[in-house]
A and B are shown apart, each in its own frame.
Chain A
């Protein structure tokens, strides 16, 4: 197995390039990434969804894995977080601006 070449802040940077499948905003700006931890070759991501029956869950997992694989991460664990729940307060300032120009107010 390839060792992970990224540290935690680099993983956050990479995840900033993974877009929400329904809106032109990254998962990070959307506030969906709750935590990132790297231990040896293992990368663990804690992810909160905006809805319990999120129709895009399969895409989000796929997109995260594809993005991190490009950086050489092989052992990727994605854990869903329901407590605390995702709320719109988690959306970043930049995210709010993007959504408002796209026609959504939050």
Chain B
């Protein structure tokens, strides 16, 4: 392991040094790095069954091609990120096929059923925007060289997913009537899901190992603001109402509800009049959303049987 102390490592990173190998890391650095990469890898992986469920309702062959291309990209991103974890000494096969559903670290949003083409495109517009926001930050700021380089391809491909979401949101809203109503219904549950995606506000949690080791450069609230500054104007330009607005006095986006609030996954409905504590949010996340097991099993189900068959079955 590293001969440097944690403090010396942080100073080196502060001067702009990029970490390239495990030999240069302290235990603390490596632990924080594994944690943040695991969240990314699991998020990329679990977006695939989630998007696939919705993509089956694609309205035409050409739109199906677009949606499946997005899914293929996401699986590629998961592959790249699990490989980074394997390079840090983790077992990729175990991470994907060996863990229990509740051990996956993807956000609560990807534990939810995406049931229609409309929900898919709003997910592309809101959730992939969260992805680009969260991954654009380490691309600019991270101290881990291999991660930074892996994000060149990932961030470019995410742009297509985003475009897929935004163009379809606009088209459906321009059509008006039922199409626009469905977009509004999807936005009603997916927008607050995106707000929650960025975690605890800074006044409750500011200093984290991830920031101290410069694995990422921006705080939760800074990232949430970047996301809001894209998603709120997009929604408004489509004539879709979202519970947030730009506050001239504070020069930032503010939410029109007390954050965080309770969520009823069976109804896909936020209870805006029921504010809760962050402990309650963590409890809900820990309990996992309704499709956590279904999605994980869809990826793991045939693996063991198939491997046995492939290896001779004798």
Contact = CB atoms under 8 A, between A and B. Distances in A.
Contacts, number: 31
Nearest to B60: A58
A58 B66 contact: yes
Given A21-B163, A56-B160, A103 B65 contact: no
B68 A55 contact: yes
Nearest to B69: A55
Given A62-B167, A62-B171, A103-B152, A53 B160 contact: no
B175 to A, nearest CB: 13
Nearest to B159: A22
20 contacts: A21-B160, A21-B163, A22-B159, A53-B65, A54-B65, A55-B65, A55-B69, A56-B66, A56-B160, A57-B62, A57-B65, A58-B60, A58-B62, A58-B63, A58-B65, A59-B66, A59-B164, A59-B167, A62-B167, A62-B171
Interface string B160-173: 10011001000100
Nearest to A104: B156
A7 B163 CA distance: 30
A98 B163 CA distance: 20
A21 B168 CA distance: 13
A61 B65 CA distance: 14
Interface string B125-168: 00000000000000000000000000010001001100110010
A57 B66 CA distance: 8
A85 to B, nearest CB: 18
Nearest to A60: B62
Contacts of A53: 65
B160 A22 contact: yes
A57 B62 CA distance: 7
A59 B163 contact: yes
A8 to B, nearest CB: 27
Given A21-B160, A22-B160, A103-B156, 18 more contacts: A21-B163, A22-B159, A53-B65, A55-B66, A55-B68, A55-B70, A56-B66, A56-B69, A58-B60, A58-B62, A58-B63, A58-B65, A59-B66, A59-B163, A59-B167, A62-B167, A62-B171, A103-B152
